[in-house]
A = this chain, B = another copy of it.
Amino acid sequence: MTNKIKIAIVGWGNVGRGVEAAIKQINDMTISAVISRDTDRVKKEIDNRLPMFSTEKVNEVKADLAILCGGSATDLPYQGPFYANLFNTVDSFDTHSDIPKYFAAMNEVSQSKKHISIISAGWDPGTFSLERVLANSFIPQSKAYTFWGRGVSQGHSQAIRAIEGVADGIQYTVPAEQALATVRSGTNPELTTRQKHTRECFIALKPGADEKKIKELIVNMPKYFSDFDTTVTIESAEQVAERRKAMPHTGFVITSGKTGNNKALIEYRNQWDSNPDATACILVACARAAFRLRQEGRCGALTMLDIPPSYYSPLSHAELLRDWM
């Protein structure tokens, strides 16, 4: 079909693979390119299944939209504006404190090129941002609480794997049941970082490694673990490898306040068996919205806060009115 939305996947990692899987589940998109810096590696995996382009050949790519699957720390700050210059884009920029700056940079490029750039899509930032803003708008003077987990944190896992003597490791972020229960009771408590989440590390040690010293290094690591109650469990390399096959994640946004003089509470929860696949599915829905907004003549940077919900859906306006209201 020639009228499918043509998607270029930029970057072939877990999220890029997830975008391929997500597009297989729907009927209105096709992958016209996988763009990578490392075509040798990617070629082995995608074979001739998908058209592949090195970053040098990006000008040959024909696509309605590029989904940027790179990371926020080093990839997106330059990849974002680079690709917004060439295509409509969707990305998952997730360094919360830098979002205004990144928005401004992307908006400047995409306005000048008459492209749409949806930034910071995914679940947090993304759907969780959406739910925080919706609930805060519907329940005036409310307080929003976000809990992450139980789920794998890539950043924290990388931090423990970088420690000398650690052969392999994985970290789970776990919301504290007591904190969840208190928030659900509608009392709007003040909660410290330590009260909201605990952290569970599972590591395999290298031969001769000092278990006690490594455990102390982990639980006292500033920024990553020192503000949390952290447990470290030693496992075999096989056990940790088995854990690393799955990347589940869960999260909660709970908003509590009053409507008039009456208590009101909204709780939103998502539960993903695969965090990157879920992120990819949200990026793909955003791609559909971006394509439609561009067709209507819109351009510039947007977040999920700026998108009418119906634009994400493959269903027609008439279908939505009839079956989904």
Contact = CB atoms under 8 A, between A and B. Distances in A.
Interface of A: 18, 21-22, 24-26, 96, 99-100, 103, 120, 125, 127, 129-130, 132-134, 136-141, 258-274, 277-278, 280-282, 285, 288, 303-310, 312-315, 318, 320-322, 324-325
Contacts of A272: 259, 262, 264
A262 B282 contact: no
Contacts of A138: 127, 278, 281-282, 285, 312
A24 to B, nearest CB: 8
Contact of A309 (B133, B262, B273): B133
Given A22-B259, A277-B260, A308 B310 contact: no
A306 B288 CA distance: 15
A139 B321 CA distance: 20
A312 B133 contact: yes
A100 B265 CA distance: 30
A313 B137 CA distance: 5
A258 B314 CA distance: 16
Given A127-B134, A268-B268, A281-B139, A325 B99 contact: yes
Given A133-B320, A305-B308, 13 more contacts: A25-B141, A25-B260, A127-B138, A132-B324, A134-B312, A259-B272, A259-B281, A262-B273, A262-B277, A268-B268, A305-B325, A306-B310, A308-B308
6 contacts: A100-B318, A136-B324, A137-B285, A261-B277, A265-B270, A267-B270
Nearest to A252: B267
A136 B267 CA distance: 18
B271 A269 contact: no
Count of this chain's copies in the oligomeric assembly: 2
Contacts of A26: 140
B271 A259 contact: no
A98 B182 CA distance: 41
Q: Report, nearest first, the 7 A-B pairs whose CB atoms are least far apart.
A: A21-B260, A137-B312, A262-B274, A262-B273, A25-B140, A260-B277, A305-B310
A245 to B, nearest CB: 12
Contact of A321 (B22, B24, B99): B99
Nearest to A137: B312
Contacts of A320: 133, 303, 305
B308 A306 contact: yes
Contact of A266 (B103, B269, B310): B269
A260 to B, nearest CB: 3
Nearest to A21: B260
A267 B268 contact: yes
A9 to B, nearest CB: 14
Given A133-B310, A134-B309, A265 B259 contact: no
